Structure 1
Amino acid sequence: MKHTSIGLIAVLALAVGASVGYGLARKGGPSTAAVPAEQKALYWYDPMYPQQHFPAPGKSPFMDMQLVAKYAEGDGAQGQPAVQITPGVQQNLGVRLATVTRSRLQRTLQVSGVLAFDERDFSVLQARTAGFVERTYGRATGDVVAKGAPLADVLAPEWAGLQEEFLALRRTGDAGLQAAARQRLLLAGMPAELIERVARSGKVQQWVTLVAPSAGSLRSLDLRPGMTLTPGATLARINGIAQVWLEAAVPEAQAQGLREGQAVQARLPAYPGETVSGTLTALLADADPQSRTLRLRIELPNREGRLRPGMTAQVTLSPEAPDDEGLTLPAEAVIRTGKRDLVMLAEDQGRFRPVEVLLGQESGGQVAVLQGLQAGQQVVASGQFLIDSEASLKGIEATTAPDSMPAAQEARP
């Protein structure tokens, strides 16, 4: 009998509780009872989907619950809703504020690059007549040679016959015939120094020594004893090494302010502690569509020949800063969503609201603000993600950058 009485009492209590809950739900829930009758709701929303607003109360289409009314909170700036946090809670959350200041953003870029040959300092040795390679001088691809260094001795039968004709005309004493014969030797491709040697010695030079047309590194060498030469065949390619190119890439979002002719500083892992000064000579016309970077060409002097193409280098670039000062704030204060950039603007009485900003260049932990804020305002630099989450749960949307700008600044041309 005792157990039966206790069970009946529990059933009655549950029934009464369910009736009270149903009655509160029919009247709009406890959240509406505490709101003064004269205060008008801005909109209704589902706390699980605060970004979706509804013009009238009702049941949420997402969850099995009633929509919650959103009211204007106090006398906020321009009547905009905000999250209000007491100083004690701010301290517990580790909220730290930063001030938007007006200053000139000094930018420095650090990028990596690879050394390459200077493609402007390039020469080719070709066969100007048919012949036979009789001797080579032990050169190989990759060797560094000086200008005029011998590469091979070649027997040129066609040139020997032209030299015989030239010497025979010289013995006639006719200056006009001599000039015509000399011109014929030049048109046949004979080097001027070989013609002078024939004229001085008065003897046919059957053997011709092929020499390096310029100083540098042998990129290719196709000369072997006993091989036959055909006119126009490429025998050697030589790249100069007096200076080298440094090819680097910079993100296109940070390329603003880079100009041809700017001085750069390069540091190579091969020579720690040393700095090589160079010049930015070209911003190439095409961008890499995969990495979204712009390619740079930097010229570095190679006086001692220690800079070898293929080496890596770290480059320091100093883009030109704008002449006038702009607004800056710590980059850590920005909430980057991927589609837009937000900051939590701190107002009086512990109020915080999200504001969309338009950002510029970033350097040294500071980022330029193009729209959305004004000098002297404070933003949350630490703990902003927690406050932003609370604002999302309350259905507070960020004001757009143009809407949050002061009227005086909007009026500027």
Structure 2
Amino acid sequence: MIGRVMVVVVLAACGGDKVHERHVDEHLPAGSGTQRAREQGDHVSIAPEMLRDLRITTAKVESRAAGERVSVLADVRVNQDAYAEVASPTTARVLRVLAKAGDEVKAGQPLVELASADVSKARGEVQAAEERVAIANQNLARKQALHADRLIPERDVIEARAAVKEAEAARTAAAGQLQPFAVSGAGGVLVLRAQVGGTVIERDVVVGQLADPSKTLFRIGDLSKLWLVAHVFERDAVRVQLGATGAASFAALPGRTIEGPVVWIGREVETPSRTIPVRLELANPGGVLRPGMSAMVSLPVGEPGGPVIAVPMAAVQRVGDRWAVFIPRGVGEFDVRTVGRGRELGGDVEILSGVAAGEEVVVDGAFLLKAEFDKASGEGGHDHEH
């Protein structure tokens, strides 16, 4: 019979039940099929209390390029093109803190107000310099009038003009000393502002604290796009291509894969590990990724091949004298599906037959399901065909 069957998969997870609804063709590649699996008794049931301990995760069967891939360790970092660390340019006392960790700030937004003796001194020097310029201009005007009446020689006018230029230069220098302090308000109030827009990743400042240039008060970054730095062995890194798409999986996000392009390949080998850093850019629209997270990233190396069906390597288990995957069919219910195992593709395995792209297979927990199935089969619980 050729048709389509609606299958609802309910998989218990720590955070609650997730219900996935999909259509599965009854005509699957050779050696597969829900109906055939159930007729042969290729099925395993797990008690709810045991299911919680298995920590099962699933992934969809993918159609992907068959080129060689490598899986390497990686870590998430801030995008340094949209990142800034804020520190006081001089020793100062904290008067008021205007932002906290987790706040979204705009470039130029005030973060903290400080009281600084250096600011007071610099402001005083600017005011004194401005007064000297005013006096020099008044003196020049007086001497020009006297020269017009032929009461003083032209040399005195020339000297007065030189004095004005000297006073103006001193005023410019004094203003330059004050400018880095971003002064606002009266007296010696120093305001530190955000150099970039983004999220306040870290705040390390409290009212009354004595800040100095060596201490970072705020770390700010745009977390909507992050860097993933993969540590690739030199023999593989030289075959990674700019623009290639890598697929990252995270221990903190089981069952989820995030893809991103390769945007930079290091020009120097890190001697202790003999690896070359390869940087990917990952979009982070939901903010689920955090700087410092660890990951495994699968990268294509060499020339890409034609499309193949593939699943994560952990999903394929040896059951008796065959290779098999586990298909979730309900709470604690799994079909054991025979598959044809092909080449290893980095952290994935090519599947020659048995499943179709888009189907769901168990990844984490597949080995424990295999052990339960083997145990039940040994007790005669399944009429298992070899």
TM-score by length of 2: 0.43
* Larger Rg, first or second structure (1 or 2): 1
TM-score by length of 1: 0.41
Q: Tell me which of the two structures has the higher relative contact order, counting C-alpha pairs closer than 8 angstroms and 6 or more residues apart.
A: 2
